[in-house]
Structure 1
Amino acid sequence: MFKIAIIDDDPQVLHGLKRVIPWDDLEAEWIGDANDGKLGLKLVRIAHPDIVITDIYMPEMSGLEMVEQLRTEGYEGKIIILSGYSDFEYARKALRLHVNDYLSKPVTVQTIKEVLQGVIAQLEEEQTEWIKSVVTGTWSSLPAGFRQRTPVRKTWDRLHHLAIGIEMHRTAGFAAYTNSEWHLMRFAVGNVIREVVDGEWPKSEYIELHSNHSVILLHSAPELPDEMVHEQALRLGERLIACVRTHLKLQIYVGLGALKRDWRDISVSTEEAFLAISFKDTTVFLDRFLYDYNAIRHSENGARLRSSRRLIRPVQFYHQFADYIRNSLEKEACGLVRGYLSNPDHAAYVTASELVLTGTELWVILSYTLYDFGVHLEQLFPEVEVREQLNAITVPDQLAEWLTDKISAIFASRSGNENVRHKRVVEYMIDYIHQHYSENVTVSDLANQVYISRNYLSQIFKNATGETFNSYVTRVRMENAKSLILEGKYLIYEIADKVGYKNIPYFSTLFKKYTGLNPSELAK
C-alpha cells in the first residue's frame, strides 16, 4: 500500500480529496493531512508518505517552500501540486523542485485519479527495481535516497525471507519459437506462478531475472518455526512444478534457498536457490525437479556444495552479464567475465565440471538474451560444437578466453543486421510519436511493442536521433503547439490539451523553455 499525505488550508478540499480518491482501486492509503506548510513538513518527516498532494498558498509556510525544504532534506517521494493559482513562476519553480504534476483548481475527480494512477505506476516500477536489486545483491549500488524510500523496506524488517529460484527447462522445442512466442511463453509461466503463489503465500513477490530464470521471494512471520516455513516452501515448489506442467506442458526446475532473518541476506538465499538447481545433473530429487539447498548440504553432495560456495553461485554476476549483453556493451561484458573468472578462489577450488556448468549457464543466458533481439546462436555456433568446446575446458582462464572470443564474434556478426533493425525500430518510434503525441506516450509502452528492453530502446533512440526519447516527444508537442497557436483558431488551454497537457501553467512553462516565449506572447 502506498501512503498519501494531503496538505491544504481549505477544509473542504481536504475532506473532498479524502472522499473522492479511490483508495482501494489505487491500493493506496491516507496517512494524514495538514493545513499549512509547517505542519505539512512535520507530517512528512514523521509519516514518510510516498506521495504528497499539496496546495501552494498556505499560512505559515507555502507549499513550494515546504517542498523546497523537503528536497533539501533528501525527501525523494512523489509530489503533486494542487493550486488555485495558475501562475507561470509557480509552475517554473515546481519544475525545478522535481514536482511530478501541477494541477489547477478546480480539478475533476477523473483527473485526480489519472494523475495518481500515473504516479503510483512509477512507484511500482521503482519498487520492482528495488526488490530485484535486493534479490540480485546489487542493492548497495543504488542511490541512497532510492534505497531508503521503498515502501516494503520497513515491512521486511519485521519478517523472515526465503528465495525460490525458477529455471525454465531448455528443450530443443524452444529453438522453433518466434520472438513473440518466447515472450508469450515467459509471460504465461509468470502468470501461472503468480496465481499459485498468490493463493498459497500472499506475502510474496515474483521477480523475472535474465533469460529463463526468475525468483519467488517468500516472507514469513518470525514466530513461525523455521522447519514449518521450510516444509511449506517445499510443498509450494512441488505445486508450482505440477501446475506449470499441467497448464503449459512445460518443465521447470525449482530450487529452495535457506531461510534468512534479515532482508539484506535475501541475495544469499537467491544464490543458494540457484546453486541447488545446479545439482540437477545429479540424482538428488531429479524425479521431482525440486532441489533443496539444505537437503543437498546434508547429503553425500555436501562436500561438492561446500567447494562450490567458493565459486559463489553468481546471480549478481549473471544479472550484470545479461544487462551488458542486452545493452550491447561488448567491452563491459568481456571485462566482467574476465574479472569474475580471474578470481584466485576459482582456480584453487573450482573443478573442471563446475567450470563447464558455469560456461553452460552463461551460454544459455547469452542465447536467451540475444534471442530477444532475433539472434539465434545455434545458427552461428552449432550446439554440438559448443558442447565439445565447453567439455574441453579445465581452468577458468580457458573459459574466460573462450567466452570473450564468442562474445566478440557475436557482436561482429550482428552489427550489420543490428544497424538495419535499429533503423527500422527508430523509424517506427518516430512515426508512433508523431501520430500519438497528444496521448501519454512512454518508452516503456513502445518497448513492449518492439520486444526490446526499455533501457536498450532508450539507448538506440538516443544514438540515432541525438536526443532522449522524452526530449523528442516534448519537441514534437511544442512544434505542433506553435503551429496551432499561429493558426489562431484555438485558445491556449485547447492547444495544451491537443498536444497532451492537461495543466496550462505546466504547458506554458515548457513552451517558454522550448521557444523563449509564453504561448500568449507568440499568439500576439
Structure 2
Amino acid sequence: MLKAAVFDDEYIVLQGLREMIDWSSFGIELIGTADNGLSAFEVFREHRPKLIFTDIRMPGMDGLQLIEEIMQEAPETLCIVFSGFNEFEYVKRAINLGVADYLEKPITIPMIEKAIRKVMDKISQEQEVLDLKTKVNSSQRELLEKATFDLLFIGEEAESKWREIYGAGVEPLVGVTVLATESDRLQIPEHTDCTVIPLRHGQERLLVCVHAQQPTPEFWEQLQLESEQANVSVGSGRTYAELKDAAHSFKEALRALRSAHFLGEKGIVRFEDLGDLITRPEGLNEREEAIILSLRSGNKAGMLEQVDRFIAWIQTEKLDSEVAEHEMLKLLYLALEEARKSSGDKVSHIPEDYRPHVEFREMAARGKMTEWFRSQLEMIVGSTIDAREHSRHASVTRARNYMEQNYTRDVTLQEVAEHVGMNPTYFSVLFKEEVGESYIKYVTRIRMELAKTLLSRGLKVNDVSEKVGYHTYRHFSEVFKKYTGHTPGQYKEQLTNPSGI
C-alpha cells in the first residue's frame, strides 16, 4: 500500500483526518501524524511516506521549510498543503516547490477525498508512463543486443543498422573493445567513457565496450583491479577505431580468454600482450593447438589433460596408424621446437641427438605408442619448466628493480616484460607466482605507500597524485580509498587532526 502522513498543529484536524477518512479504500496506509515541523520531519525520515498532507503554518519548522527539506532528500514525494485564506504568498512558494495540490482551510472530508483521488490519478498516470518507458527501454535493449550480435558476427554489413538502433551520440565514438569472461561478477566502472553492452554467447559473457574516447591506462588498471577482486578471468580483444572491426575484437577476446584459462590467470589477459603465446603453427587443428598453447604457458597439468583428450580422439576416430603416427610425430617435433625456443637450444633431460621418430616406430610395434607419446610430451614440458625455474628469480628481481625506479610514471606491464625479455602474459603469471601478488597490485601498493608518506609530509593531494604516477585526481582518489578505506583528503585530515575535534 501507498504510505501517507498528515502534519498539522491543530489536534482536531489530525484527529478528524485520522478517523474520518477511509484511507485503505484508496490503497493508502496512514503511517503517522505530527503537530510540529520538527516532529514531522522525524516521521518522514523514519517511514519515508510517498504522500504528505501538511499545514503551511506549524511551530518548530513551517510547512514550506519542511517541504524543502523533504524534496532535497526524496524529490519523488507528493505533498499537499493546507493554507489559510490570506496566505497567497505562501501558496505561491508552495507551487514553486512543486507541491501536488493545495487546499484552503477550513478543510472538509470531501475536499480531502477529492485531493486524494486527484493525486492517486497522478500516481497512476506516472506509473503507466514508467511502465511504458520500461517496456520501450527493454525492447530497445533487446534490439541493441541483436544488432550488436550481428556486428560481432557479420561485421561491416551490420554497422548501419547498429548505428540506427544505438541512436543519438553515436558519431563521437572512437573505438570498440570486446571483453569475454565466464562470470557475471565483473562490473565495468560506471564513470568510464564508454557504453557497455552485455551479451551472452554460450558459456561466455561478452562485454562490448563502445568508447567515447580511447581507453586510458587508468581504464585498464581499474578493470584489472575489478576482475581480480571478482576472481574472474577476462580476455580482451584489441581496441579498433572502426565499429565494423568489432568482429575481430570479439574473436581475439575469446582467444585471450582461452589463454587465460590455460595460464590459470585471474584478471585481464589482453590479446595484444599474448605475442607468440597464441601464434598458431600452420596446419594445427584446435586439439593440437591446445597442447602447444599449454606447453608455451608452462601449464603441465593443462597440457597433459589436452594430450589425453588428443589420444582419446585418435582412439575414438580409429585413425589409420600412419595418420596417427604422422599427427603424433608432428606434435612431438613442434613441442621440442617450442621448448628450445623458450628455454634455449639445450634443454635439460633431452639429448641433443633426440630423434623421436626412431623410437616411436619401436613403441608402435610393441603396442605402446600412446603411452610413450604421452611420456615424451611430459618430459618436454617438464624440461621447459625446469629451464624457466632457473631464470625466473633473476628476471623477477630485475623487473622489481625496474618498477621501483619508474613507478612515478605510467610504467606498463608490457614495458616491464620487454625490459626482462619475456612475453607479457607469461611474465604476469611468473611475477604473481614469485611475488605472491599481481603486477597491478604490486605497483598499486608501492604507489599507495609512497602517497601515504607524501600526504603525511603535508603535500597537496593533487601534487601527490602526480608524484605517484596518476594523471587524474579522480582515479588516484578511488584507488587510494580502496587501498586505505579513506579518500586522500580524509587520510590527510586524520593525520593533522587524529581526535576529529
Which category of TM-score, normalised to the shorter sequence, fits these structures?
A: 0.3 to 0.5
Rg comparison, structure with higher value: 2
Structure having greater relative contact order (Cα 8 Å, sep ≥ 6): 1
TM-score (norm: length of structure 2) = 0.46
TM-score (norm: length of structure 1) = 0.44
